[in-house]
Structure 1
Amino acid sequence: MIKCNVKVCGIVNRAACVRQTSDGKSFVAFGLSVTVPATKGDAVTLNISVAADKADAASLTEGRRVPSTVCCG
């Protein structure tokens, strides 16, 4: 498994909600659609689940384009 942090710009496809870890720390979770262009002109859409420590859940509505740092792995 490869783990990495990446910066992407995508469209929110699932409205943000505030959740808590088992330790009681809160974070914002939302879905993000990112389009990755291919060499032959076709594009692939990736759906990424994002968990952010410092984010405003009210501003992350569906259809909004946002930049995000994503931890993959």
Structure 2
Amino acid sequence: MGLSSGMRGTDGAVDRVDCQAGTLAFHTIGDSRIKEVCGSGIVDFIVALLKSNHLDTSGRLHKKNALLDYFAERSQGC
């Protein structure tokens, strides 16, 4: 399992992710509802996860992590 590409840079694509006061802030093209993440958004997301200490330098999410719990709860049944 891995990541091969992001979505096309159209409305609803997350194109920027910032870490502000320990919270991840997402910006979408067209200020639309989030659909998926485009390539530049993926890079920003990784940087934000590193800065916020959710991701280690090997690319793994920290095991005891509120962010990991958040995504795990929402991925049930996928």
TM-score by length of 1: 0.23
More strand by share: 1
Larger gyration radius, structure 1 or structure 2? 1
Ranked by relative contact order (alpha carbons within 8 Å, sequence separation 6 or more), the top structure is 1
